[in-house]
Amino acid sequence: MSVAKNTYNRVTTNSLLKMKSDGEKIAMLTAYDYTLAGLVDQAGIDVILVGDSASNVIAGHETTLPITLDQMIYHASAVIRAVKRALVVVDLPFGSYQADSKEALRSAIRIMKESGAHAVKLEGGNQERSSIERIIQAGIPVMGHLGLTPQSIYKFGTYTVRAKEEQEANQLIEDAKMLESAGCFGLVLEKVPAHLAKKVASLVSIPVIGIGAGNGVDGQVLVLHDMLGMSKEFSPRFLRRYLDLHTNIIGAIQQYTSDVKTKDFPNESEQY
CB of residue 176 to ligand KIV, shortest distance in Å? 15
92 binds ligand KIV (CB under 6 A): no
The DSSP 8-state label assigned to residue 92 in this structure reads P
Under rule CB under 6 A, which residues in 104-123 are in contact with ligand KIV? none
User: Which is nearer to ligand KIV, 67 or 82 (by Cβ)?
Assistant: 67
Q: Is 190 a catalytic residue?
A: yes
Decide: 41 and 48 in contact? Cβ < 8 Å.
yes
CB atoms within 10 A of CB 32: 27
Minimum CB separation of residue 256 from ligand KIV in Å reads: 31
The binder of ligand KIV chosen from 176, 211, 217, 228 (CB under 6 A): 211
Is-contact 37 31, C-beta < 8 A?
yes
Give the DSSP H/E element, type plus range, for residue 89. Answer: strand 87-91
| Identified catalytic residue from 190, 233, 268, 270 | 190
Q: Are 222 and 201 in contact (CB under 8 A)?
A: no
| Cα 20–chain centre separation | 18
Nearer to ligand KIV, 11 or 210 (CB): 210
Length of the chain: 272
Nearer Cβ to ligand KIV, position 206 or 221? 221
Which residue in the shown chain puts its C-beta closest to ligand KIV?
Answer: 51
Question: Do residues 105 and 138 touch, judged by C-beta distance below 8 A?
Answer: yes
Residue among 46, 91, 175, 218 that touches ligand KIV (CB under 6 A): 91
Query: If we measure between CA atoms, which residue out of 144, 129, 123, 142 comes closest to residue 63?
Result: 123
Binding to ligand KIV by residue 51, rule CB under 6 A? yes
Q: Which 3 state secondary structure label does DSSP give 63?
A: coil
Report, in Å, the least distance between residue 49 CB and ligand KIV: 6
Q: Does 161 bind ligand KIV (CB under 6 A)?
A: no
What DSSP string runs through 140-162?
Answer: --EEEEEES-GGGHHHH-S-SPP
Q: Indicate which single residue of 13, 15, 30, 115 sits in contact with ligand KIV (rule: CB under 6 A).
A: 30
Kindly state the smallest distance separating residue 209's Cβ from ligand KIV, in Å: 8
Cα angle 27-201-234, degrees, rounded to a multiple of 5 = 50
Phi and psi torsions of 216, nearest 5°: -90, 10
Q: Which has the closest alpha carbon to 140: 169, 108, 167?
A: 108
Nearer to ligand KIV, 137 or 241 (CB): 241
* Residue 96 in the binding site for ligand KIV (CB under 6 A): no
Regarding 223 and contact with ligand KIV (CB under 6 A), the answer is yes
Q: Which listed residue (41, 52, 180, 218) binds ligand KIV by CB under 6 A?
A: 52
State which of residues 221, 227, 228, 230 lies at the interface with ligand KIV (CB under 6 A): 221
Q: How far apart are CA 200 and CA 207, in angstroms?
A: 10
Under the criterion CB under 6 A, does residue 188 sit at the interface with ligand KIV?
yes
Residues that bind ligand KIV (CB under 6 A): 30, 49, 51-53, 91, 188, 190, 211, 221, 223
Active site residues: 190
